Structure formats: structure tokens, C-alpha cells
Amino acid sequence: MNIWLIHHAGCFNRGCEAIVRTTLRLIEEAAPAGSVSVRLFSKDPSGDRAADWPPYVVVEDATRRKYTRWHLLHALWRRKGLGRWLVRRILLRPGCGPDLVLSIGGDNYTPEYGDPRTWLLRTDEIFLGSNIPLVIWGASIGPFEPGSELESVLRAHFARVRAITVREQETWRYLSGLGLAERIHRVWDPAFLLPEVEPPPPHPELTDRTIGLNISALCFECQGEDAAAAIREVVWFVRALAEAGWKTLLIPHVYREDLEAARNDLALLREVRDVTAAEGLPVELVDRALGASELKWIIARCRCFIGARTHATIAAMSSGVPTLCIAYSRKAVGISRDLFGHDRWLLSSRGLTGTRLWQAFEALMEEEAEVRAQLQDKLPEMNEGARRNLDVLRDLIAP
């Protein structure tokens, strides 16, 4: 069986990497050994080809570079008529094209990422229009403006896919309200199953006074603040931690040396490190090209974790580490509510300041023991929910 994974941004986003790696492990469980080949369509093909993948995985270029398989699929499909005939008879013919397509972007179909009609739905239509099963995988979806043309288009679109696995209850309720209950499967994000891998030394100093902190420029971008303002607020918070006897470990989760600053956690955190280290504060930065499992090993050894990137917080919560989630998108809200049953450990990025970070951190640490116990109690549910993705895969792969 040929399985294509599409809408993958690239492993510079360790959350995307975590989804892919855990999905591959589930595919291995669902299918007989040697019976599956996987094509991973990546927007960062050179970076992903350098990653360590199982031998059955081939990384394909999903940029708009000319004459790649991805480019030809879209160029010919737009021509309709003969172009679509060529797509079906040559590029997607049995044995060459996919038997199953998983759309793995996570939160691609949410308002934060713009109008999905401009690219996502066009890509999906290539497979739906060729009668190839398409699954929206581990997703957070919507909410879009009620009664809008876009919502109507999406309802019709999702009614045509083979299945939608949703990772939080907010999405479940939204899609059920659109009459799509028969299409959806309630799961947890497959990344809850990501194993830890100890990185090669040197390791950061990890003690019972180490607080892990992941901040993204996106937290401040949504309120129109520039990087300098973001750095000031984070530096204030690091100072407050130091005055209370805590060490801060800055942990990027979306980064690559040549990534633009607006998307690059490392660019922001390096500036925070430089300012705070110059003041002699106890701060350290993970400034190495580590993978998702290696970062999870580090996060799991922090006393507490505060994170903006959803899969950085999933790494913490699935390791039983008390976690404060900074929500700049819908996905963080739903996942945190499902896990804790309330929003107390969820901090909106709107109006985010160092003072608000400190107040939320203090509240979390006052209930540290209770939160840690709650996470331990929830671990079986996290794993069971993430493994429900396997049941869906088995049904899809079964002959």
C-alpha cells in the first residue's frame, strides 16, 4: 500500500516532526511488515531529506518548484479536461499514486492560517476528484464565521473525505454542529505517543529549580507588537524567576538557522538569552539542532514548563510536567481544556506581559503537586486517546 502524507511544513517545526514520527509508528503497527511505502510531501524537502527516516519513507518536494511531482499534480489539475485525465492516468495511477492520503497539518483548517480555499482545498480536490481516500489527520478545525459561504464550502468539502480524526473536544463539537458526526473520530494528538530520546552531550543543566520556557514571536505578533516589545516582556519574566531562585531554560521548538525571524523561536530566544545573561541571570538556551524526541527528553526533566508551541506543551504534559500553555491559536485551547477540564493553566497571548506570565506561573506552582498528580492520572487516557488513531488506520488499511 502507498500512503502519502501531505501538508507537512517540515521538521524544523518539531511539532510537525512529532506528528509524522508518531504517525509512522502507528502505520507500522497497522500494516504488515514490508507492505507499506510512505511518501512525505514536505515544504522543507532538503531539511527533511537529511533527517533519519525508516527505509520505507521517501521525502518529496511540496514547494512550488517547477517539474516536481507536486508541481505537476497542481499544474495539470488546474487545466481540467486533458490535464486531469493525465493526473489520474499517469501521476496517480495504481502503483504510482497513493492508495491513501493523510492530511497531517494539525491546525491548517483554522482561521489563524487564512482561507483554506486558496491552497488546502485545491490540493485536497486532486485526490477527492480522483476517488482516492483522503483523511484529515489529528486535526483542530474552525471555527469559521457561522453561516458564512466559507463555512458552507468547508461543510461540503469535509462531507467528501473518508474520515476526520479530531484531537480535541472543541473541534468535535464544531464539526458535529455542521452535521459531520459520521465522519469524525475523537482521538488525541498522535504526538502524545512520542518517545523521549536522550540527546548527545553536552546537556543543559537540569535541576529541581529549572523552569522550561518556550516563547514564539507569534504570541506578540497577533497583538501588533514588535520583537523588541516581546523581548522586553520575556526578559522581565526571566528576571522575576531569577529573583525567586529559579533558573530559566529557553527551549525553541520551531527553528532553523535560515528561518525568518517571525517564525523562528530561536531568533527571539537568543536575544532574550543575550540580554539576561549579560545581567548575570541564571538562564540557559538550547541552541542546538535537536529533534522532537530529544527536546522532549529535555522538557521532561524541567520542574515546570511554560510553552507557546502546542507540541512543546504536549511533550511536557505527556511527560507529567506541570504545564502552562500560552494560547495564540485555537488548538492550544481545546487540548488544554480536554486535559485539565478548565482554563486555569491556559494563558491567552492577547495582552501577554511579563507580569501576567509571572502571576500565572505563581498560581501553577502553588498547586504543583495537585497538577502533577492530575497529569499522572491522565497519562493512560492520553496514551489510549492517541492510540485510537491506530484503530482508524487499521480500518483504512484493511484489505
How do residues 21-76 score in pLDDT, each as one tens digit?
999 999 999 998 889 999 999 999 999 999 999 999 999 999 989 989 999 999 99
C-alpha span between 217 and 92 (Å, rounded): 40
Q: Using DSSP bridges, classify how beta strands 346-348 and 210-214 pair: parallel, antiparallel or unpaired.
A: unpaired
pLDDT tens per residue, range 207-255: 999 999 999 877 776 555 566 877 899 999 999 999 999 999 999 999 9
Supply the DSSP string of 34-52, one letter for each residue.
T--EEEEEESSHHHHHTS-
E strand segments, the chain: 2-8, 37-42, 57-61, 100-103, 134-139, 163-166, 184-186, 210-214, 247-250, 283-285, 304-307, 323-327, 346-348
For 169-195, what is the mean pLDDT?
96
The residue behind cell 535537536 is: 290
Sheet holding 210-214, edge to edge: 283-285, 247-250, 210-214, 304-307, 323-327, 346-348
Count H helices and E strands in the chain, helices first: 15, 13
End-to-end CA distance of the chain: 10
Q: Collapse the DSSP code of 107 into the 3-class scheme (helix H, G, I; strand E, B; otherwise coil) and give the result.
A: coil
Q: Does residue 161 contact residue 132 with C-beta atoms inside 8 Å? A: no
The average pLDDT across 164-185 equals 95
- Phi and psi at residue 59, to the nearest 5°: -90, 125
Grid cell of 386 as nine digits: 492517541
Q: What pLDDT, on the 0 to 100 scale, is given for residue 217?
A: 79
Calculate the CA 40 to chain-centre distance: 16
Burial of 13 (0-12, 13-18, 19+ CB in 10 A): buried
pLDDT of res. 34: 86
The pLDDT, as a whole number, for residue 223 is 54
Burial pattern 214-244, b for ≥16 Cβ within 10 A else e, equals: bbbbbbbbeeebeeeebbbbbbebbbbbbee
- In the chain, ranges of CATH 3.40.50.2000 domains: 210-379
What integer pLDDT is reported at residue 184 of this predicted model?
97
Confidence check: pLDDT of 206 > 60: yes
Domain 2-194+382-397 listed as CATH 3.40.50.620: no
Sign of CA dihedral 218, 219, 224, 226: negative
Please write the tens of the pLDDT for every residue from 298-346.
Answer: 999 999 999 999 999 999 999 999 999 998 776 678 888 899 989 999 9
Helix or strand or coil: residue 4? Answer: strand
CB 337 within 8 A of CB 324: no
Closest CA to 352 of 245, 214, 234: 234
According to CATH, where is 3.40.50.11720 located in the chain?
Answer: 2-194+382-397
**pLDDT value, residue 32:** 85
Q: Provide the 8-state DSSP code for 97.
A: S
Q: At 112, is the pLDDT very low, low, confident or very high (cuts 50, 70, 90)?
A: confident
Q: Which of 191-200, 227-236, 383-392 has the lowest mean pLDDT?
A: 227-236
Please state the rounded mean pLDDT for residues 68-91: 94
| Angstrom distances, CA of residue 177 to CA of 39, 146, 152, 280, 336 | 34, 10, 12, 54, 21
Stated pTM of the model: 0.95
Cα radius of gyration rounded to whole Å, the chain:
21
In this prediction, residues 90-114 reach a mean pLDDT of: 89
Q: What is the pLDDT of residues 119-165, one digit of tens each?
A: 899 999 999 999 999 999 999 998 999 999 999 999 999 999 999 99
- In whole angstroms, give the CA distance from residue 58 to residue 317: 31
Question: Going by DSSP bridges, is the β-strand pair 100-103/283-285 parallel, antiparallel, or unpaired?
Answer: unpaired
Note the pLDDT of residue 199: 97
Return the beta strands (E) in 91-171 as ranges: 100-103, 134-139, 163-166
Q: Does domain 210-379 have CATH number 3.90.76.10?
A: no
Tell me the percentage of the chain whose pLDDT exceeds 90: 82
Q: Write the DSSP symbol of residue 202.
A: P
pLDDT of residue 95: 87
Kindly give, in sequence order, each residue whose CB lies less than 8 Å from that of residue 106, ignoring residues fewer than 6 positions away. 15, 16, 19, 138, 139, 140, 167, 189, 310, 331
